[in-house]
Amino acid sequence: MTLRLPLRALSLSRPWTTAVEVHDKRAENRERWTPHPHLMAQAERMVGEDLALHSSGTYDRQGALYIQQQTGVLYGRKDTPDKAVTSVVNVAGLLHPGDPFPPGQEAWYFGDTALLVEQVRVLTAPVFMPGGLGFWTVKDQYIPEIRAALPSIDPDGTDCGRAADRRQRCTGCGAAVCVRCARYDEDGELHCPECHGDGQ
């Protein structure tokens, strides 16, 4: 899988990476960048580039509750990898304060500065490494592991690539669950599409 090097990364508090990777969140809000021209300039330069999303060591309890409001799923501290790159996205644009809500992002865009991302490629296994502040560069030693964990992109958008996460298993059959296709039942139990009925 092709990656543009050097690969830049952005650390997100847990479980916000999961909102991007599982629940179609495509606006990464960064309102604290707004008053800082140098940070805004860095963000502008990222448009069109690949960006690794890093699940940081910080757990955002209020963020988790907000995600639960939108999705019905409460992600605990152990439900999202700690200090690991979990996906690679493409930065499609930079939203500025007052910009209109992108279609389908009414719940995820908070109206200030935000990166708009697309082509979310969820790694088949997290690649553990320290994070950083702002945009930071992934060290060369981790690049082969990230490349090996990247799923294929289906140009028709009909196949997720079965990016199974071995740490997340279906309650019904015990199989490793595809992080894009996973479904939760009313009791909060995780299921693969087949056991949940999506594959029928």
Please report the sign of the dihedral spanned by the C-alpha atoms of residue 13, residue 19, residue 21, residue 26.
negative
165-195 exposure pattern, b = at least 16 Cβ within 10 A, e = fewer: beeebbbeeeebbbbbbbbbeeeeebbbbeb
Tokens (6 digits) for 59: 């757990």
Angle at 9 (CA atoms; ends 35, 182), nearest 5 degrees = 110
Q: List the beta bridge partners of residue 11.
A: 54
Are residues 130 and 164 both part of a single domain?
A: no
Range of the structural domain that residue 174 is part of: 156-200
Q: Are residues 101 and 162 in the same domain?
A: no
My answer on whether 79 and 104 are in the same domain is: yes
Name 39's Cβ contacts closer than 8 Å, sequence gap at least 6: 30, 33, 134
Is residue 167 domain-shared with residue 146, that is, in the same domain?
no
Instruction: Give the separation between CA 12 and CA 54, rounded to whole angstroms.
Output: 6
C-beta of residue 111 within 8 angstroms of C-beta of residue 138? no
Residues 137 and 169 grouped into a single domain? no
Domain count, the chain: 2
Instruction: Kindly state whether residue 3 falls inside one of the protein's structural domains.
Output: no
Residue 32 belongs to a domain? yes
- Give the tokens for residue 16: 């916000």
Any domain includes 192: yes
Same domain as 114, residue 200? no
pLDDT value for 158:
35
Residue 108: other Cβ atoms inside 10 A: 22
Tell whether 72 and 107 lie within a shared domain. Answer: yes
Contacts of 128 (CB under 8 A, 6+ apart): 81, 83, 84
Mean pLDDT for each 10-residue chunk of the chain (200 residues)? 87 97 96 96 96 97 97 94 96 95 94 95 96 96 96 48 53 69 64 64
Is 14 within the bounds of a domain?
Answer: yes
What value, to the nearest 5°, has the Cα angle with vertex 183 and ends 67 and 131?
50
105 and 13 housed in the same domain:
yes
Q: Are 95 and 186 members of one domain?
A: no
Question: Has residue 55 been placed in a domain?
Answer: yes
| pLDDT computed for residue 192 by the predictor | 74
Residues 146 and 175 in one domain: no
CATH value at residue 68 = 2.30.130.30
